[in-house]
Structure 1
């Protein structure tokens, strides 16, 4: 018995860190580890590719879906007492999913986070059904948490002007001229065209330079055409002219300090610095410029359908959030200006 014990201990010691890493890598899909039976891995990998290629979801969204599914598998495994198998998944009923919802509520997950996680599970079980397995019917019977409709928080026109103007100067002297002009061009694309920052940073030189219209591929591969104002074109031209290296037609337009692709975090951090310097509210972020684009269009007579197309929203109900912003501004104006409201 003692010899066997020492032999087992010896075997354990002989496992190298490299072998451990290989085991982790084998159980990992898209950088996310799954504690599931081996018969599920191929289906998760298939779903992973399906999300990225056919559904054309962003890397960020795909990663979030993978984490949500891994967390659900972990929850399921803890209740089953073993790694979930394909038979376990196809045997689930609505009460199992509701138990998972209660589990998340007890852990104080935000309703929006749980709604997204439920969407991820629905997507996975949809893929299972396409492969000939059951499971979609049970999860279809589960209602998503009700989420209060959030109201976008745009900046006023004066704050937007201050922010973009300030981006063109640097009191610290740490940024080069081309970097300042790059930041101005990015902010103009967010506010002047209503782009998401990921969309702006995905543009190639040939897709932007000298173009009065931009063809943008947004979430879910949805394409839209957006007018590019002369002031936006001028900012882009100024940046290109100042960039110290050669940008080929098929190169991504916006570059980082060392010539690589510009990371969105660089722009986000720059806006935080400018916001603090100018005393702007905390909602002054790159994404708030997209909100400001939509809100200012609506306030100046733009119609919802056109704004929906410009923003690339799949549903008009998403765009209708901006009517709440406009109504709030109207009430503020009324209460501050109407003689009977004073």
Structure 2
């Protein structure tokens, strides 16, 4: 059997049995296709099941070296998102995909090869989140309406950005909501309890604050269509589900108008949600549950943010913070 056929079986298994998201499937396919394409050149022919079984640790290191050479030769390296840390994260992801593929091969095709497990995973510095201040986030959820002249779009944008900040949703999660989801949330003026499907099709429950409920109900009153069933909550001018790029463009225009940092993105509202809970006494486990993080280590970044916040307060308020050290 050809290795590319095994790859297609693996992708199907990840989708059906492991419930991997569409984005994850695409990433697995791209990363492992690069690996199999390298093997085609490396061994001088299309790889087979036996090739995958015979791949050595040296062969895998050659693949990683080839990937590293391609990354370093990228003319965009150092520009925008094409940083050294980004290259390391890409390498981590590809190694993870390779190891998952070989675990599948061992379970379902009797291919036992320990070479992938001998590869060390490169460490990457986790960037700290970049939240807005509480004042900036609160003002945004009200003032975002100034970007669009259409009253319908204004109510929509207020509801969307209030939801992002008030519930800590990813933009894709918010735009993926249907009216039936809000019906099941028992949305009312006092709030509700929203069930969200996040990464890896994992479900979590998030309380809807009264301020979020008010924005959603006002948007519901202006919604140019039927607010029930599988109709999307957030729609564009043509009545279709709102494209993420429209929300991102609205945020770009707002931050330029208000003089905010370029790091003020829709996702920054999710960071703001978590950071502000932390600053007001929330515990890590609660924040992990609300954000839908699979690992607590991901959530722990917000403790570093809180420490940085406390340090700034100390430097501003402590009488000895700005005194020069005496020799």
TM-score range, shorter chain: 0.7 to 0.9
For residue 144 of structure 1, what is the aligned residue in structure 2? 121
For residue 311 of structure 1, what is the aligned residue in structure 2? 291
Alignment of 1:201-280 (within 5 A): 201-209=175-183, 210-211=186-187, 212-280=192-260
Q: Does residue 95 of structure 1 match 2:39?
A: no
Q: Which runs of 5+ in 2 are unaligned?
A: 73-86, 323-327
Q: How many residue pairs end up in the alignment?
A: 302
For residue 75 of structure 1, what is the aligned residue in structure 2? 38
Q: Which runs of at least 4 in structure 1 moved beyond 4 Å after TM superposition?
A: none
Q: Give the CA deviation at 1:123.
A: 1.6
Q: What's the CA shift string for 1:313-337, capped at 9, x where partnerless?
A: 1111111010011111111111121
Q: Is the CA contact (8 Å cut-off) linking 1:92 and 1:135 kept in structure 2?
A: no
| Alignment partner of 1:290 out of 270, 277, 294 | 270
Q: Give the CA deviation at 1:214.
A: 0.6
Alignment of 1:1-342 (within 5 A): 39-108=2-71, 110-170=87-147, 173=149, 176-209=150-183, 210-211=186-187, 212-342=192-322
Q: Give the CA deviation at 1:106.
A: 2.4
Q: Give the CA deviation at 1:181.
A: 1.4
CA–CA distance in structure 2, aligned partners of residues 187 and 58 of structure 1: 24
- SS of the residue 2:124 aligns to: coil
Q: Is the CA contact (8 Å cut-off) linking 2:164 and 2:270 kept in structure 1?
A: yes
Q: Is the CA contact (8 Å cut-off) linking 1:126 and 1:136 kept in structure 2?
A: no
TM-score in terms of structure 2 length: 0.87
CA–CA distance in structure 2, aligned partners of residues 84 and 269 of structure 1: 44
- SS of the residue 2:146 aligns to: coil
TM-score in terms of structure 1 length: 0.84
CA–CA distance in structure 2, aligned partners of residues 242 and 135 of structure 1: 60
CA–CA distance in structure 1, aligned partners of residues 112 and 40 of structure 2: 17
Q: What's the CA shift string for 1:126-183, capped at 9, x where partnerless?
A: 222222231552211211111112211111112212322222223x63xx21222112
